[in-house]
A and B are shown apart, each in its own frame.
Chain A
Amino acid sequence: MALTGLDIFKLTPRKNCKECGFPTCMAFAMKVASGAVEIEKCPHISDEAKAKLSEATAPPMRTIKVGTGDYEKALGGETVLFRHEKTFVNRNLFAVQFADQMTDDEVSGKIANLKKVDYERIGEQMHVEAVAVKYTGNKERYLDVIKQLKDLNKVFILVCDDAAVAAEAVALVKETKPVLVGANAGNLDEMVKLAKDNGVVLGLSADTVEDLYALAEKAQGLDYKELVLNTTGENIAKTFEKTIEVRRTALEGKDRTFGYPSIVFVNDLAKDNAYLQTALAATFILKYGSIIVLDDIEYANALPLFALRQNIFTDPQKPMRVEPKVYEFANPDAESPVLLTVDFALTYFVVSGEIERAKVPAYLAVPDAGGLSVLTSWAAGKLGASVIRDMIKNSGLEEKLTRKRLVLPGKVAVLKGEVEEELPGWEIIVGPEEAMQIPKFLRELN
Chain B
Amino acid sequence: MQKFMIIGERIHCISPVIRKALEERDPEPILKRAKEQIAAGAAYLDVNIGPAEKDGEEIMQWVVQLIQSECDNIPLALDTANKKAIEAGIKVYNRSKGKPIINSADAGDRIDNINLAAANDAMCIALCAKEGIPRDNDERMMYCQQMLERAMEAGMDPEDLLFDPLFLVIKGMQEKQVEVLEAIKMMSEMGLKTTGGLSNVSNGAPKHLRPVLDAYTLAMAMMCGLTSAIANPCDPKLQEAVKTCDIILGNTLYADSYLEL
Listed in ascending order, the chain A residues whose CB lies under 8 Å from chain B are 4-7, 9-10, 14, 16, 23-27, 29-30, 33-34
B143 to chain A, nearest CB (A): 10
Q: Is B39 an interface residue (CB 8 A)?
A: no
Nearest B residue (CB) for A7: B191
Interface centre among B141, B144, B186, B190 (most CB of A within 10 A): B190
Determine how close the nearest CB of chain B comes to the CB of A4; give it in whole angstroms. Answer: 3
Please tell me if the beta carbons of A34 and B189 are within 8 angstroms of each other in the complex. Answer: yes
Nearest residue, chain B, Cβ from A10: B152
Question: Which chain A residue has the least Cβ–Cβ distance from B158?
Answer: A6
A308 to chain B, nearest CB (A): 26
B142: CB under 8 A from chain A?
Answer: yes
A27 to B192, CA, bound (A): 14
Q: How large is the interface on B (under 10, 10 to 19, 20 to 34, 35 or more residues)?
A: 10 to 19
* B→A interface (CB under 8 Å): 138, 141-142, 144-145, 148-149, 152, 158, 186, 189-192
Question: Residues of B contacting A25 with CB < 8 Å?
Answer: 145
Q: In the bound complex, do residue B138 and residue A23 qualify as a contact, i.e. CB atoms below 8 Å apart?
A: yes
Known: A4-B190, A26-B142. 12 other contacts (CB 8 A): A4-B189, A6-B148, A6-B191, A6-B192, A7-B191, A24-B145, A25-B145, A26-B145, A26-B190, A27-B138, A33-B190, A34-B189
**B153 — nearest CB in chain A belongs to which residue?**
A14
A-B contact pairs, 24 of them (CB 8 A): A4-B190, A4-B191, A6-B190, A6-B192, A9-B145, A9-B148, A9-B190, A14-B145, A16-B145, A23-B138, A23-B141, A24-B141, A24-B142, A24-B145, A25-B145, A26-B142, A26-B145, A26-B148, A26-B190, A30-B186, A30-B189, A33-B189, A33-B190, A34-B189
- B141, A27: Cβ atoms under 8 Å? yes
Q: List residues of chain A with CB within 8 A of the CB of B191.
A: 4-7
The majority secondary structure among interface residues of chain B is helix
B131 to chain A, nearest CB (A): 19
Contacts of A30 in B (CB 8 A): 186, 189-190
Given A24-B141, A24-B142, A24-B145: A29 in contact with B189 (beta carbons within 8 A): no
A29 touches B190 (CB 8 A): yes
CB distance from A39 to the nearest CB of B (A): 16
Measured between C-beta atoms, what is the minimum distance from B49 to chain A in Å?
Answer: 33
Q: Cβ of A26 and Cβ of B189 under 8 Å apart?
A: no
Q: Which of A4, A25, A29 has the most CB of B within 10 A?
A: A4
Contacting residues, chain A, for B144 (C-beta < 8 A): 26
Contacts of B148 in A (CB 8 A): 6, 9, 26
B46 smallest CB distance to A (angstroms): 26
**B residues near A34, Cβ cutoff 8 Å:** 189
Inside 8 A of B190's CB, which chain A residues have their CB? 4-6, 9, 26, 29-30, 33
A194 to chain B, nearest CB (A): 44
Contact residues in B for A23 (Cβ distance below 8 Å): 138, 141-142
CA distance A24 to B142 in the complex (A): 7
Q: Which residues of A contact B152 (CB under 8 A)?
A: 10
Chain B residues near A26 (CB, 8 Å)?
A: 141-142, 144-145, 148, 190
Q: How far is the CB of A71 from chain B (nearest CB, A)?
A: 41
A25 to B192, CA, bound (A): 15
- Which residues of chain B have C-beta atoms less than 8 A from A4's C-beta? 189-191
Cα A5 to Cα B145 in complex, Å, equals: 11
| Bound complex: CA A51 to CA B142 (Å) | 27
Minimal Cβ-Cβ distance residue in A for B186: A30
What 6 pairs across the A-B complex have the smallest Cβ distances? Answer: A4-B191, A5-B190, A6-B191, A26-B145, A6-B190, A24-B145
CB distance from B150 to the nearest CB of A (A): 11
Residue of A with least CB distance to B137:
A27
Task: Give Cα distance in the complex from A289 to B34, angstroms.
Answer: 50
Complex Cα spacing A12 to B116, Å: 26
Q: Which residue of A lies closest to B144 (CB)?
A: A26
